[in-house]
Amino acid sequence: MQRRVLVVAAFVLAIGGGVARAANDVVIGALYPMTGPNAQVGNDARAAMETAVEIINGNHNLPMLLGKGGGLDKLGGAKVRLIFADHQGDPQKARAEAERLITQEHVVALIGSYQSATAATISQVADRYELPYMSADNSSPSLNQRGLKWFFRTSPHDIMFTQAMFDFFRDIGAKTGRKVKSVALFHEDTIFGTDSSNAQKQMAEAAGIKVAADIRYRGNSPSLSAEVQQIKAADADVIMPSSYTSDAILLMRGMHDVGYAPKAVMAQSAGFAEQAFIDAVGPLAEGVMSRSAFALDSAKARPAIPAVNALYRARNNKDLNDNTGREIAALIVLADAINRAGSMDEDKIRAALIATDIPGDQTIMPWKGIKFDSTGQNIAATPVIQQIKGGAYHTIYPFDVASEDAVWNVGK
């Protein structure tokens, strides 16, 4: 009896050891701000990426890419292992940490990084050492325009986000017969607001929509009443704000105070996406629209979302959002490319990334799919438009992933 136990134990050990040797871990370096003002974003990203690793390595039988079976099957069931590094939002530190991950931790690929400025140096290091950098959530449009061979981005960038708004105007106009004829731009004066309004101005002109007002204001103003009067005077079909939280609250309250009810508000996410905004203005937020890369409520079209969200919730006690959804998607796309490469050779992984063609319903994202152009940008990343109903955002566009019909008051 004892002997049999010993034999079984030896057998198990032999198999276990054999598997461990055959399936070397696939090590991926993740760079995020884990300390400093954006530490919360970094720690949420960590929980999201660990959720993605759990999905890849464990057997959860989810209806999505790498959702079934454990590990990477073409690498003998190899497990994905993440090593996190803290860049504190500093490009120099991001560069140093990327080099450390590559030369000391021997990662096969990098993923990151929230702030676009840190992605600028991380992707440069990746390009010099010739291994892939997967941008999960950097939104600056310039990042993929630098001729880097090893840069890949699954997420839409800021111009694609703005494009989605004007695509929505066109399609809702065709559907209801009530077209957008004029917009009022309202933006804060740093890079975010300026770039956003510049893109909106160009796209409005291209679509033949009149810019009735273009109002630039100082961010975090104590009062926006003069600006609100301008908006009221312009009385455009759609007000398009690019504002952070406190200004978003001031705008909505200010319009209410002067007795102006806008027909439609289409926000560039930011402050309007914050729960604090919805809590502060309550019923005034009803009907406000914004863009997002992720739609938690698109479970009908993306059946894996509830289970993935539950796994994430177990780790971090909150629902997936715009950032964390994108982070999970990016890591799974990267792991899938490594799996398809069937090797940890960087050139083979790059070839597999270039050949990526994943339909949207294999992911948790509401996108058409994942397909990289020659600059490494995912051109099938179609953002969604969401609208506040009953104090929460619901997806209204594209129509095939929508969970609610749009409330469209323009032209009424």
Partner 1 sequence: MGTSITRRRRQELIIGVGLLAVLALLPLPIHDVYTRNLIIITVLFAGLAQAWNVLGGYCGQISLSHALYFGVGAYVSTLLLTRAGIPPTIGMFAGGALAGLMALLVGWPCFRLSGHYYAIATVVVGEIGFLLALNWDWIGGATGINIPYRRAIGDSWLWLQFRIDKLPYHYAALAFAAAAWLVAWKIEGSRWGFVWRAVKDDPVAARSLAVRIFPSKMAAAAISGALTGIGGAIYAQYVGYIDPDSVLYGQLSILIPLPAVLGGVGTLWGPLVGAAVLIPLSELTRSYLGGSGRGVDLMIYGALIVLVALARPQGLASLVGVRVRAPAGADDAATA
Q: Decide if 71 contacts 57 (C-beta within 8 A).
A: yes
As measured in angstroms, the least distance from the Cβ of 74 to partner 1 is 30
Nearer to partner 1, 73 or 105 (CB): 105
Contacts 24+ apart (CB under 8 A), 252-260: 252/281, 252/284, 252/285, 252/288, 253/281, 253/284, 254/224, 254/225, 254/227, 254/228, 255/228, 255/231, 256/284, 257/225, 257/228, 258/225, 258/228, 258/229, 258/232, 260/228, 260/231, 260/232
Task: Provide the minimum distance between the beta carbon of 142 and partner 1 in the complex, in angstroms, as a whole number.
Answer: 5
194 or 229: whose CB is closer to partner 1? 194
**In the complex with partner 1, which residue's Cβ is closer, 35 or 225?**
35
- Min. distance of Cβ 119 from partner 1 in angstroms? 10
User: Of 95 and 350, which has the nearer Cβ to partner 1?
Assistant: 95
Selection from 171, 181, 176 nearest residue 237 by Cα: 181
The minimum distance between CB 117 and partner 1, in angstroms, equals 5
Could you tell me the sign of the dihedral formed by the alpha carbons of 370, 374, 376, 379, in that order? negative
Nearer to partner 1, 53 or 249 (CB): 53
Length of the chain: 412
Distance in Å, CB of 208 to partner 1, minimum: 27
Q: Which two tokens stand for residue 246?
A: 């406190």
Taking the complex as a whole, how short is the minimal distance between the CB of residue 189 and partner 1, in angstroms?
7
Residue 97 or 167: the one with the smaller Cβ distance to partner 1 is: 97
The nearest distance, CB 167 to partner 1, in angstroms, is 25
- CB contact set of 313 (below 8 Å; sequence gap of 6+): 319
Q: How near is the Cβ of 195 to partner 1 at its closest, in Å? A: 8
- Return the number of the residue (104 or 317) whose C-beta is nearest partner 1: 104
Nearer to partner 1, 93 or 178 (CB): 93
The least CB distance from residue 50 to partner 1, in Å, is 12
Of 46 and 394, CB closest to partner 1: 46
Residues near partner 1, by CB under 8 A: 34-35, 39, 42-43, 46, 83-86, 88-93, 95-97, 99-100, 103-104, 116-117, 120-121, 124, 127-129, 140, 142, 146-147, 189-191, 194
